[in-house]
């Protein structure tokens, strides 16, 4: 139910009476109540208050309630909505949620949260939302579905009979008629008139003599009511009017007195003007009309003193958003910055999430945001998490200048610089990334969290350089510190780095144990549907992928991609998810899905300026086209990327270059290309270069992937020498090579590595199927299915669109296309519009590029 009207029509009174009726019904119905203010535009702040409002009604919110109390909900609001709905369904009782003053926090993100609750919670929740303006919801559609009904201002105008109930029996019909006509049935004006007359100050003649709109009448009445109050009450009203909401403790703190509770008791008859915000009548706000009047009466200097006192008190309550807001209103930027530092500084992004931090930064002006080192560091880290490389680096450079004469901030800057560089894969400075605990202690001797963060960055650097022992040592030391400072979020990142290092060197049992531990830690601290759990789920998907459970890996991968792209992602995560993503898409969904997956990764790489990821995409495109039989496209992609030259150059780079992922991906792509072109010896030569290079660095899984392709190449090369078919029984040396190659796959259950080779591995497998180990039995059926039904390009286009696209790719102008196909130029434009839409582009050049990337040139 939407209750929409301007101020003063009694929306809050209506909700209060409605709530009382529900609670006092023969079968009481629980009601959660929430009054919004300007700070609630942060969807997670709103959701935290919603969780606590339901908890106050008796709902067991469990760990979700604890996270709400500490403002540590998941960074993704939709995950928090899902968790809240799950809690409410477990509670098992239909409830009513009343939201007052919705207009004060209305925003697109808040609208999305409320719409999700409305649509997905309709079976367990009744909504009553009061607002001065209609929310930006699809109201017509919601009303058509029966999800929304509306009460507007006309419905809330009081009749003369209802006015009599408010005013009491002291007025005859004529007087009542005058009062109703002059107030136009406006609830607040009638309440003010009642108070005015009750104090013996008002007269019907004076009311009739007022001119102007009814709002002016109400404003006049409010002034008269206030002026009739005792001096102490008037001063109380004026000094607390600058507070959007307050309780007795806050009112005492800002006034330097201890009589607020008594004052509030004296104001109970004035509920038309002093509105309680919660069931326990602890928190209050003033009616907007009264607040506006009172604020004009307060001395500006006194107002700033009150704001400053409120900032200090709210900071002690850890209500950082309201505290910072009051400090800024006091004109005390230094206090506001100190409060942000007390709230955690840059660690707010880590502990409270992106939306919460963005909400605090909105209070500061542009000059402060561009000059203060603390604000610059917070923003740099924030934009690094969001993937905005140019802005994050610019802010980091500004912060570096700002901290030059602030040695107490140098440590924080070192940490932020390390984090920002990691997010954008800028790991060229070894001195910044300690991997030994003693080095981290020297950098930040008194701060365990900073030590742990630096060691985590060192672990990422070590993984990129394939220094896996260093990565394991750094991750282990970082985890110990994260546990001491009780940061389960930070501990999870340590576990991810640790699992990656174990996995790459072939310690699969340790890697699986660590990832399962990370999943349990994320779930116990952040809930079943948290973004952190989704991020960990990407690495769990990798383990399922390696084990051959591609169908099980796919949903975990899909769930984690949103987190990786919008909340938290660095090159390791992008590379892991992308490598799995296109290979799974190719086999489970087809060529178009795999091509789209790679194009999406390429866009992410361009957006974040991740050059290593872009290089990987170039290699993967060659690999994909080879697997799909699109050899013209594969050669084109390889030549355009100069893949062979770039790959050989990578082999010659020194130990401080992060090249191993490209060496692995490039070798796989080039080997497939040579195999597809009938040149197995060239493929073997590549393997002989790459495999020892990888083994020397302890990269077991990448080496095993190449050994499987080498097996195929060796078999084909042997068959070519003997002049026999590659499908005949393998020779003894080939059998020995097969046993050596399959041994680690059997030991660690790595069926997925066989699946990614594809059907061309089938002739290499032993002929006695009855004696096959489980890892081979698991893959043979899907491999044979893929052999019988190879991936095909699913045409997106009609016959005529395909003809137009073929000529477009050749660079043919519209007029020439029309002549060649015997159609009008307008018809050509029509087909081009459809082609652009299907390719998700908006111009000819982009259409040609995407069509070639998707292998449409030959088929069109």
In which residue are the tokens 């009599």 written?
Answer: 164
Question: Rounded mean pLDDT of 715-721?
Answer: 81
Mean per-residue pLDDT for 158-179? 65
6-48 residue pLDDT tens: 766 678 878 888 888 999 889 889 999 888 887 777 788 888 8
Nearest to 226 by CA among 195, 186, 271: 195
Burial (CB < 10 A; 0-12, 13-18, 19+), residue 73, is buried
More confident of the two residues 13 and 796: 13
| pTM exceeds 0.85 | no
pLDDT band at 195 (very low <50, low <70, confident <90, very high): low
Looking at 3.40.228.10, 3.30.160.20, 3.40.50.300, 3.40.50.1980, the CATH number of the domain 2-155 comes to 3.40.50.300
Q: Tell me the three-class secondary structure of 700-739, residue by residue.
A: HHHHHHHHHHHHHHHHHHHHHHHCCCCCCCCCHHHHHHHH
Average pLDDT, the chain: 86
Local confidence band at 200 (pLDDT 50, 70, 90 cut-offs): low
Give the pLDDT confidence of 315-336 residue by residue, as tens digits: 999 889 899 999 999 999 999 9
pLDDT band at 860, cuts 50/70/90? very low
Asked whether the predicted pLDDT for residue 772 surpasses 90, the reply is no
3-state helix, strand, coil in the chain (%, to 5): 70, 5, 25
Within 10 angstroms of residue 589's Cβ, the number of other Cβ atoms is 15
- Give the pair of three-digit tokens for residue 149: 């009904």
Q: What percent of the chain has pLDDT over 70?
A: 87
Average pLDDT over residues 638-656: 92
Q: How confident is the model at residue 855 (pLDDT cuts 50, 70, 90)?
A: low
Average of per-residue pLDDT across 528-554: 90
Please give the residue that has the higher pLDDT: either 282 or 661.
661
Alpha carbons 65 and 55: distance in angstroms, whole number: 7
The answer, yes or no, to whether residue 210 has pLDDT greater than 50, is: no
Our CA dihedral for 837, 843, 848, 852, rounded to 10 degrees, sits at: -50
- pLDDT tens-digit profile of 220-255? 656 666 777 788 888 999 999 999 899 999 999 999
Superfamily of domain 373-560: Tetratricopeptide repeat domain (1.25.40.10)
- Residue 100's SS3 state is strand
Largest CA distance in the chain: 118
- Whole-number Å distance between alpha carbons of 424 and 829: 41
Render pLDDT for 89-104 as a digit per residue (tens, 0 to 9).
999 899 999 999 888 8
**Residue ranges covered by each domain of the chain:** 2-155, 160-227, 373-560, 610-788, 799-859
Architecture of domain 799-859: Orthogonal Bundle (1.10)
* 284-286/274-276 β-pairing: antiparallel
For the four alpha carbons of 464, 468, 473 and 478, in that order, the dihedral sign comes to positive
Closest CA to 105 of 140, 133, 142: 133
Q: Which of 132-146, 487-501, 776-790 has the lowest mean pLDDT?
A: 132-146
pLDDT computed for residue 858 by the predictor: 46
pLDDT tier, 747 (very low <50, low <70, confident <90, very high otherwise): very high
Pseudo-torsion of CA 191, 194, 195, 198, nearest 10°? -160
* Closest to 225 measured CA to CA, from 260, 273, 266, 177: 273
pLDDT at 213 over 70: no
Task: Indicate if 610-788 has the same CATH topology as 373-560.
Answer: yes
- What fold characterizes domain 610-788? 1.25.40
């Amino acid at each position: 139910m939407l209750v929409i009207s301007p101020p003063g029509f009694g929306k809050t009174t209506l909700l209060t009476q409605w709530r009382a009726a529900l609670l006092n019904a023969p079968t009481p119905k629980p009601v959660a109540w929430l009054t919004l203010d300007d700070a609630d535009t942060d969807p997670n702040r709103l959701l935290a208050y919603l969780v606590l409002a339901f908890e106050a009604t008796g709902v067991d919110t469990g760990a979700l309630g604890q996270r709400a109390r500490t403002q540590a909900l998941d960074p993704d609001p939709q995950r928090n909505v899902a968790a809240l709905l799950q809690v409410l369904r477990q509670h098992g009782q239909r409830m009513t949620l009343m939201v007052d003053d919705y207009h004060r926090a209305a925003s697109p993100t808040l609208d999305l949260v409320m719409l999700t609750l409305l649509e997905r919670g309709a079976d367990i929740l009744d909504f009553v939302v009061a607002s001065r303006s209609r929310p930006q919801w699809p109201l017509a559609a919601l009303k058509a579905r029966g999800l929304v009904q509306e009460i507007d201002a006309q419905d809330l105008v009081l009749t003369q009979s209802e006015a009599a109930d408010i005013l009491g029996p002291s007025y005859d019909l004529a007087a009542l008629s005058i009062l109703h006509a002059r107030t136009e049935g406006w609830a607040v004006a009638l309440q003010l008139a009642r108070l005015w007359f009750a104090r013996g100050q008002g007269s019907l003649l004076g009311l009739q003599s007022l001119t102007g709109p009814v709002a002016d009448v109400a404003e006049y009445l409010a002034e008269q009511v206030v002026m009739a109050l005792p001096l102490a009450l008037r001063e109380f009203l004026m000094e607390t009017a600058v507070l959007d909401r307050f309780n007795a403790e806050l009112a005492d703190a800002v006034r330097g007195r201890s009589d607020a509770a008594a004052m509030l008791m004296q104001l109970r008859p004035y509920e038309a003007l002093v509105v309680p915000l919660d069931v326990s009548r602890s928190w209050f706000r003033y009616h907007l009309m009264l607040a506006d009047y009172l604020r004009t009466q307060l001395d500006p200097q006194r107002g700033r003193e009150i704001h400053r006192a409120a900032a200090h008190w709210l900071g002690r309550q850890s209500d950082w958003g309201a505290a910072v807001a009051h400090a800024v209103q006091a004109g005390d930027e230094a206090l506001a910055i100190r409060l942000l530092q007390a709230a955690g500084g840059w660690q707010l992004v880590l502990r409270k999430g992106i939306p919460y931090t963005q909400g605090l930064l909105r209070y500061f002006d542009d000059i402060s945001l561009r000059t203060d080192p603390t604000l610059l560091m917070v923003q740099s880290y924030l934009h690094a998490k969001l993937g905005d490389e140019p802005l994050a680096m610019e802010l980091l450079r500004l912060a570096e200048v700002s901290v030059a004469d602030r040695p107490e901030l140098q440590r924080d800057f070192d940490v932020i610089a390390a984090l920002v560089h990691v997010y954008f894969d800028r790991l060229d400075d070894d001195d910044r990334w300690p991997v030994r605990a003693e080095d981290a202690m020297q950098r930040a001797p008194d701060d365990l969290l900073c030590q742990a963060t630096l060691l985590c960055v060192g672990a990422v650097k070590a993984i990129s350089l394939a220094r896996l022992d260093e990565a394991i040592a750094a991750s282990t030391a970082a985890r110990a510190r994260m546990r001491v400072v009780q940061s389960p979020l930070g501990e999870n990142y340590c576990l991810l780095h640790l699992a990656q290092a174990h996995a790459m060197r072939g310690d699969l049992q340790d890697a699986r144990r660590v990832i399962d531990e990370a999943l349990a830690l994320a779930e116990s601290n952040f809930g079943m549907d948290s973004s952190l759990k989704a991020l960990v789920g990407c690495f769990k998907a990798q383990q399922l992928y390696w084990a051959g459970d591609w169908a099980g890996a796919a949903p975990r991968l899909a769930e984690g991609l949103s987190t990786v792209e919008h909340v938290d992602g660095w090159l390791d995560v992008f590379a892991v998810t992308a490598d799995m993503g296109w290979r799974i898409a190719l086999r489970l969904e087809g060529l178009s899905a795999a091509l789209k997956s790679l194009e999406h990764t390429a866009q992410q790489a361009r957006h974040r300026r991740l050059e290593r990821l872009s290089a990987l995409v170039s290699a993967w495109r060659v690999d994909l086209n080879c697997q799909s039989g699109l050899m013209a496209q594969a050669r084109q992609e390889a030549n355009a990327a100069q893949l062979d030259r770039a790959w050989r150059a990578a082999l010659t780079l020194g130990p401080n270059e992060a090249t191993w992922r490209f060496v692995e991906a490039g070798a796989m792509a080039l080997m497939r290309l040579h195999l597809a072109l009938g040149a197995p010896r060239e493929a073997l030569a590549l393997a002989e270069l790459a495999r020892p290079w990888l083994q020397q660095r302890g990269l077991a899984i990448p080496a095993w992937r190449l050994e499987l392709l080498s097996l195929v190449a060796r078999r084909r090369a042997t068959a070519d020498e003997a002049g026999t078919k590659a499908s005949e029984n393998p020779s003894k040396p080939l059998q020995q090579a097969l046993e050596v190659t399959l041994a680690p796959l059997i030991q660690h259950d790595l069926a997925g590595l066989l699946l990614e080779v594809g059907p061309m591995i089938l002739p290499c497998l032993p002929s006695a199927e009855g004696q096959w180990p489980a890892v081979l039995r698991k893959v043979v059926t899907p491999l044979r299915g893929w052999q019988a039904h190879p991936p095909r390009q699913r045409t997106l286009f009609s016959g005529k669109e395909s003809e137009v696209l073929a000529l477009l790719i050749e660079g043919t102008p519209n007029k020439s296309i029309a002549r060649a196909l015997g159609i009008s130029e307008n018809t050509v434009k029509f087909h081009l519009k459809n082609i652009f839409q299907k390719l998700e582009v908006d111009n000819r050049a982009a259409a040609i590029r995407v069509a070639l990337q998707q292998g449409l040139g030959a088929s069109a």
